[in-house]
Amino acid sequence: MPEKVKFNQKTTVGLDMGLTHFLITSKGVKVNNSRPLKQQLKRLKREQRKLSRKKRGSNNRNKQRLKISKIHERIMNIREDFQHKLSKFIVCENQAIAIEKLNI
């Protein structure tokens, strides 16, 4: 068995996932939820309305469908970027990380 490593209190952090906040650390730092969908929602609604008016099987409908998929891809990329930046920040700042796991 390998020896147990003792971690410094200052370099250890506990993480709690929440509903109102995306993440709350044991140090009291609250990270708000990233809401890219709310920011892109107006544009997405407008483009989906345009799609619903197009005739099925037409080239214009296919073009509109591609526009909507680009909006969804942008939302996905914003979410991935937020999670990547947050995880990198947490890992670089701390030596040990404890995460609460709940079965809901």
What pLDDT band is residue 62 in, cutting at 50, 70 and 90? very high
**Per-residue pLDDT for 16 more than 70?**
yes
The per-residue pLDDT of the chain, averaged, comes to 88
More confident residue, 26 or 63: 63
Q: Which two tokens stand for residue 23?
A: 């993440």
Q: Tell me, what's the pLDDT at 104?
A: 62
Q: Can you name the residues that pair with 26 across neighbouring β-strands?
A: none
Confidence of residue 38 (pLDDT cuts 50, 70, 90): confident
Q: What is the pLDDT of residue 60?
A: 97
* Residue of 66, 77, 65 lying closest to 40 (CA atoms): 77
Lowest mean pLDDT of 8-12, 69-73, 77-81, 100-104, name the range. Answer: 100-104
Buried b (16+ CB within 10 A) or exposed e, 54-66: eeeeeeebeebee
